[in-house]
A = this chain, B = another copy of it.
Amino acid sequence: MTKANKKVIQSGKGVHERVIDASLHLFTQQGYFNTSVPDIVKASNCSTGSIYHHFKDKEGIANALYESLLHRMNAVLGEIEQQFPTSKQRCRAVIELLFQLTETEPDVMEFIIYAKHKEFLPGNNPICSSRPFQKMREFITEGIANGELEPIDDMVAAASIYGGALRLIVLRLDGVIEHSLMDKLDDVWKCAWRSVAA
């Protein structure tokens, strides 16, 4: 990508947003620790001084990014909850959402489900304890309670429903799968649902 391109893409954005955008890209492509603040300076077209004016430190950047992505995920899951009444519909919608996000914004997906946050955000809980992941499990718990799903351990059921999709997402992000996950959605869903349906 040329310098000119970068400027076009990021024109009109404030420092905060430019830094977050650049960092998401660098962190997912190279890893948090392989990305230096000077790297972020170059990629964001902001100066060191500006960056430290807007963020406490490098970890503060990662934290802002993390919070914003979790917040966004949580909002979308809330919409799914409102739109669909059954466990079956909700879980299917979640998997479709995750696949779509993997295809359209792989950096976002990679940062959410594939980054080792505890290594660079040691203060935070593991991401699987975060609100969005909890909500995903609630969809399951309710399904067990109302008899849509087999009466088994919640964690086992959640892992069975979402586990296959999450594996495929990792394989896709790693380049092992070369075509769009959307092609596999129906098959994945069929397997996932069969594994726990009552």
Contacts and interface: CB of A to CB of B under 8 A. Distances in A.
Interface of A: 30-34, 114-116, 118-120, 126, 128-129, 152-153, 155-160, 162-168, 170-171, 174-177, 184, 187-188, 191-192, 194-196
Contact of A192 (B166, B188, B195): B195
Contact of A166 (B114, B163, B195): B163
A30 B119 contact: yes
Given A128-B170, A163-B167, A152 B116 contact: no
A1 B118 CA distance: 23
B195 A164 contact: yes
B174 A164 contact: no
Contacts of A31: 33, 116, 118-120
B159 A167 contact: yes
A25 to B, nearest CB: 15
Contacts of A174: 118, 126, 128-129
Which 9 residue pairs of A and B lie closest in terms of their CB atoms, listed nearest first? A163-B163, A31-B119, A33-B33, A195-B195, A159-B167, A163-B164, A160-B191, A126-B174, A163-B167
B156 A187 contact: yes
B188 A168 contact: no
Contacts of A30: 119
A190 to B, nearest CB: 8
Nearest to A119: B31
Contact of A114 (B116, B158, B159): B116
A143 B163 CA distance: 20
A128 to B, nearest CB: 6
B171 A188 contact: no
